[in-house]
Chain A
Amino acid sequence: MTSTNPPVNEGPELRLGDGPTPEVISEEEIHEEVKPPEVSARDAANWAKSVSRLSVSDAPADAVNLNVTGRRVMSPIQGFGKMWQKTYRVELANCESTPSEIITVWKENFSKFWPERNRFFGPLTGIAPGEVALLNLTMPGRLKLSTGVLVLYADEESFTLMTPQGHMFAGWITFSSFEKSGSPVAQAQVLMRSNDPMYEIGLSLGGHKKEDEFWEHTLSSLASYLGAGGEVDTQVICVDKKRQWSKATNIWHNAAIRSSIYSMGTPFRMIAKPFRRT
């Protein structure tokens, strides 16, 4: 067998002192440059990684995938309307499950507990930080709304969903379970501002009530699933009464308007389908 490796000693001979004079670094500079590596935070795996725009991979065939791809997530601060904190809580009396078992059940069956005609297309990998889920919702007046959420945070006893541009509200919803007075409690807490003036009007004209009913239904369904009865307690606090008029232009991304336009175009898309190139 013959070797194809080049001879080791080929090339110019290098001697010590031939190169440029090395830059001298003072002791003070060394202290500035060399920092100890940051110890990885113990909750690092619980948070979504930084994303500038959302993207959806493997959307189910029956899901309408609109108003999510390319959108930015919105914190409650980026919204338009008054800021609300809504807390829905049910005490799971006679339930022997631990908070982490309750959250596991909740994550695995998340959409099952929702009211009819509202669909959550969760990621195949389950509710995990950084995943994006599609939502196909039915609004008052049977208006269809296609939007989504980012799983911002998830640990054994809680998970948080954050909404994108165009959603009814800017903010996040945290689902959690914990022990209180010896009984497990399940809780959904929304921190939100309506995203634009149109949604603000909609929320004032019954939208808030609908949203309360939505989460009360969800918690009641969860309690029933776990074999525990219990009244859902709802607490609503207005965190900031001011409307942020500088955010009125958020209406450009309004998912309700865009979903309606998409719905109106459905007959035309069906007619055009056979003529489309594959």
Chain B
Amino acid sequence: MSLSPLKASARHRDGIAIIDLQGEINRMSEEPLNAAYADATKQEVAKVLLNFDDVDYINSTGIAVIVGLLARARNDGRSVTACGLSDHYREIFEITRLSDFMTIFTDEENALTDVPA
């Protein structure tokens, strides 16, 4: 099984750091995700939004990578939220209980106006 690399890029909007994710989140994703997080938090931000709009695959090692990022952000005193998850991956976030610690929004606009899914 060949693994596709994840593309992760950071931008800022309304004082929130947004990390756009594209492709597959798997065991190869740790490096690009951490690099994007470092880039996103170069400037002082209290909230990080993970945008899953263009993510088409997450496996269990990918979930572990997200947990690692969540722990790092909590350690830094930042909250992490998510948007753009399909119904399937929203269910996965519930099974793995990631949703207990990460508010999930339907899309970026709702995330910025703080309207959970």
Contacts and interface: CB of A to CB of B under 8 A. Distances in A.
Interface of A: 38, 40-44, 46-51, 73-78, 83, 85, 99-100, 152-153, 155-160, 162, 172, 174, 176, 178, 189, 191, 239-242
A140 B104 CA distance: 41
Interface residues of B, number: 29
A240 B75 contact: yes
Contacts, number: 90
Contacts of B67: 75-77, 191, 239
B63 to A, nearest CB: 8
Nearest to B91: A50
- Find the residue from B27, B87, B96 having the highest chain A CB count within 10 A: B96
Contacts of B56: 41-42
B70 A77 contact: yes
Interface of B: 1, 27, 56-61, 64, 67-68, 70-72, 74-75, 86-89, 91-92, 94-98, 100-101
16 contacts: A41-B56, A42-B57, A48-B95, A73-B97, A76-B67, A77-B70, A77-B98, A77-B100, A83-B71, A85-B68, A156-B1, A158-B59, A158-B60, A160-B60, A172-B96, A191-B68
10 smallest A-B Cβ distances: which pairs?
A153-B60, A160-B60, A240-B71, A75-B97, A41-B88, A239-B71, A191-B64, A77-B101, A50-B95, A75-B96
